Structure 1
């Protein structure tokens, strides 16, 4: 029997948001709460657990050592609740092989490549239900690993055990605080950024991804310093970069997707580009729906139908919604005959 004083899942979500933002105002906005409501939830959670999770002053919010130690357990509980919800939602659909579950981040949802692939797929396979789920960076990796989703649109690299089909390549840029003196320069090099710490990503994100997005180590062998953040979303990363002289590297499209008065985006001449693509677990290669999707990705890419960047005009196909989708896809191409 669940005790009356057990922490609620929504309280644990509030803990995760505040641990990421380290700012009551930003965390409350992210959760669609008032600051007082968020503060009340955190206070209730601390009383139920009998521990102090955060230290608060008028200017700063920090995790206590115990709060930091409990974060992995909290993420596991919230993740398990999400998996339970999704398992219940999908069980009614049956296992008839006609559902393809695809994960994507808020950023990936805006890209021309993503929308064109999905619109073309659902036009050519009208009996296939495409179930799209918007996830953060940690949720996406977890959902793939446990089979909650079949594939995902991601920026690489991907860890071992996953297969990737590249779709587009684009430069990376540095995002830094608008007040940073380096923001006045039109372009930078990695050496210019040597003394700037990188915003820390959540440890659940694979080491290969964290090293790539921090360019760690740098070409001269120097190891990178990180902030104490554990971010899982781009908006949180940008908020962290806007303080304390921290920086982050992002795909160039971020400047279009996330314009902010407190952030500047600058090209870095010697920073390697990044690749966007479709990824799925190696065991899923036997899934005929994955095979059809991967084949379609290759055809569209090889025909030059997948430009980097976001939707540019009204003629672009849009991501369909709901069951029985009938998207507009004027550029649909046939799948190879099997």
Structure 2
């Protein structure tokens, strides 16, 4: 047998007052129906909650434990309508955000701070994944929003440019390229061993660099997917690497940077990406907050 919220409220009132008459007045009812509520509640729970005689009412050990849970259940029930309204309006809820590792070097922390200031009741779950994984997770509704690299399927996804930055050449300390008084060109890196972006897991950067600096396959000493790994390999003297400018924030000892000459001054793009038909109200509010950001 299940118990009702009215029975819980009756029990809490009697437990607070330790008197059926006063509890009935507090609940704006008469004493007999209140007594019946408590009896039904005890039958539903399967334990005696109150000890009563003609002069006093006391809680049993089971009653004291049940009182704590009854208060919690009533608080949840009272808060549920307001929570439902806030979730419906998008001011509360959960937004799951996928992000590339490189986005954490610059804009991700600032973006989360902005959301925390303007939408404090929206919880943000973070999942690190490359763009290809984000696209699949968005399509499967496993995440709500991505911080990803183009291109995207415009029929399925909406996107908004979030950040743009130049590309740099990361070189070991003391490298000859650090002596240049200009941006590095394709001619400057001919014959250099290169730590290259993976053509599968980091396709965006792979294609971007290939369009600016044609690199013979024999010059590629390693292919990796994460910028941080590239910088550690550069610091170890394994070769040079092409990285977004935000990578300088990592401050890896033994690595210097030279700007890479490209047709576009700031070619590396990071976009907000979401499914057009998302039904998450909190996502709509997040996008409103981030409109025009930064």
Is contact 2:196–2:224 with CA below 8 Å preserved after alignment?
yes
- Specify the SS of the correspondent of 2:229: helix
**Compared CA separation, residues 233 and 158, structure 1 to 2 (3 A):** same
The correspondence for 1:292, drawn from 280, 285, 291, is 285
Greater C-alpha Rg: 2
Q: Which of 254, 262, 279 does residue 247 from structure 2 map onto?
A: 254
Partner-residue secondary structure (3-state), 1:108 = helix
2:169 maps to 1:174: yes
- Paired position in structure 2 for 1:269: 261
Q: Indicate how the Cα distance of structure 1 residues 170 and 292 shifts in structure 2: closer, same or farther if over 3 A, else same.
A: same
Distance 1:282 1:130 in 2: 17
State the match for 1:184 in structure 2: 179
Q: Which residue of 2 aligns with 1:240?
A: 233
Structure with the higher fraction of residues in helix conformation: 2
CA contact (8 A) 2:197 2:224 kept: yes
Q: How much does 1:201 deviate? A: 2.8
Question: Would you identify which runs of 4 or more consecutive aligned residues in structure 1 move more than 6 Å?
Answer: none
Name stretches of at least 5 consecutive residues in structure 2 with no aligned partner: 1-86
1:85-234 equivalent positions in 2, closer than 5 A: 98-111=93-106, 113-135=107-129, 140=134, 143-144=137-138, 146-154=140-148, 156-160=149-153, 162-187=157-182, 188-196=184-192, 198-205=194-201, 207-212=203-208, 214=209, 216-218=210-212, 222=214, 225=217, 227=220, 229-234=222-227
* Cα shift at 1:196: 3.2
Q: Which ranges in structure 1 are unaligned for 5 or more consecutive residues? A: 1-95, 307-338
In the TM superposition, what is the alpha-carbon distance from 1:144 to its structure 2 partner? 4.2
- Rounded to whole Å, the distance in 1 between the matches of 2:236 and 2:115 is 43
Contact 1:151 1:290 in 2 (8 A): yes
TM-score, normalising length: structure 2: 0.54
Deviates more, 1:137-146 or 1:271-280: 137-146
What is the deviation of 1:175?
Answer: 0.7
CA spacing shift, 1:206–1:175, aligned 2, 3 Å? closer
TM-score, normalised on structure 1?
0.48
- The 1:278/1:291 distance shift into structure 2, 3 A limit, reads farther
Once the two structures are TM-superposed, the CA of residue 197 in structure 1 deviates from its matched residue by 5.0
Cα distance in structure 2, aligned partners of 1:292 and 1:109: 22
- Measure how far apart 1:174 and its partner are: 0.8
Q: Deviations over 1:64-110 (max 9, x none)?
A: xxxxxxxxxxxxxxxxxxxxxxxxxxxxxxxx882111123454335
* Structure 1 residues 206 and 144, CA gap change in structure 2 (3 angstroms): farther
Give the number of equivalent residue pairs.
Answer: 199
Q: For the residues of structure 1 that align with 2:138 and 2:193, how far apart are their CA atoms? A: 30
Per-residue Cα deviation, 1:280-329 (whole angstroms, up to 9, x for no partner): 24345554333332232223x3xxxx2xxxxxxxxxxxxxxxxxxxxxxx
Contact 2:169 2:257 in 1 (8 A): yes
CA distance in 2, matches of 1:169, 1:274: 7
What is the CA distance between 1:176 and its match in structure 2? 1.9
* Paired residue secondary structure (1:166): strand
Tell me if the contact between 1:151 and 1:279 (Cα under 8 Å) persists in the aligned partners: yes
**CA separation in 2, counterparts of 1:147 and 1:104?**
15
